[in-house]
Structure 1
Amino acid sequence: MSGSSKKTKEKQVIEIKKIENKNDRVVTFSKRKSGIFKKSSEIANLSGAEVGVVIFSESGKPHSFGNPSIEAVVNRFQGVNPPPYDIITSHFAEAQRQERIAVLNQKQNSLLHQITAEKDREKRIKAVAKEKKTQGWWETSIDDKNLKQLSQMEATLEEIRKTVQSKLKQKKLACGGASSSSLPPVNPP
């Protein structure tokens, strides 16, 4: 099987041009907008930067994202000092935001550990299932066995027979000598 290797689909490059279909444009705008806002949020959370993004849809409706808020980012950009009560409020809001982020990060880490543990568990279960799927010696055809294998099989079956007889006798005694007619007779081969 030379030359057979796993083929993967390469990352497709999408040409950047205006989408002609209006419905497709609306869907694309919605998806891309949320992606931009998500990336802006990641930058703000990871680096502590203040971020503001304003996007106008084709219909002229503004969509905005700001961290800590779009107003705070615009005011800072314009050089407007917030009133003193806003500073206190913004510090309080920032402390709450940081605490919420810490809690969410802990939950995320916990979930990631659970996912890893479940993946490991799945691997172990699959390995056990694979072992159980292998055919047992008693399920194989005796026509394919040689003399030595047949002798081993006979000896193993004899051991199983003896074990079953012993257990059967124990069960009979445990039942207080139950009627032997209710149990099948044990006849050695």
Structure 2
Amino acid sequence: MGRRRIEIAEVKNPNTKLVTFSKRRTGLFKKANELSVLCGAEVAIVMFSPGQKPYSYAHPSVDVVADKYLRRKRRSNVVGANVRENNASNEVGERLCQELSAVEVLTEEEHKKATELEMREKEQEASQFSQNKELLQSSPALQRMVKDYVDAMEVSECMLLLAKEAVIGVPNRPITKRRRRN
């Protein structure tokens, strides 16, 4: 059939969109690999899938390429742009510091909660252990009580049997009237 030209438009079907993304991502990563091997270029690709999963390819690494790109971009700006960029970066930096401190506070609160939960869990385990120990210690006493109860039941059963038959081992003879001989 060969290759055909496709219309460049967003794919509407979500399943088709994911399949297309996966195939295109693989092809794009292959091309980036070829470019880095054949030309010795430093390449970095970062993309997010329609499901918001991050994917990246880089040679030698994303951090190295991104740092190099950002350093060059900063050097190429004119002085006035540098001042604006510094002001903007200061504002961004302050905002990031505020967000970082908020995250640190939340992290500390969660750490305290985790510590408290661990302590509660240990206390609960200790109380369960002591309860189990008490049960184990009371177990022989309970066994003795049950044995005594079973023995008493056997004795009661024997007493009932004795009440029915006066003498054990002697068969009951029917009582008959004897005739007197004259």
Shared topology, TM-score over 0.5? no
Larger radius of gyration: 2
Q: TM-score range by the shorter chain?
A: 0.3 to 0.5
Looking at secondary structure, tell me which structure has more helix per residue.
2
Greater relative contact order structure (CA < 8 Å, 6+ sep): 2
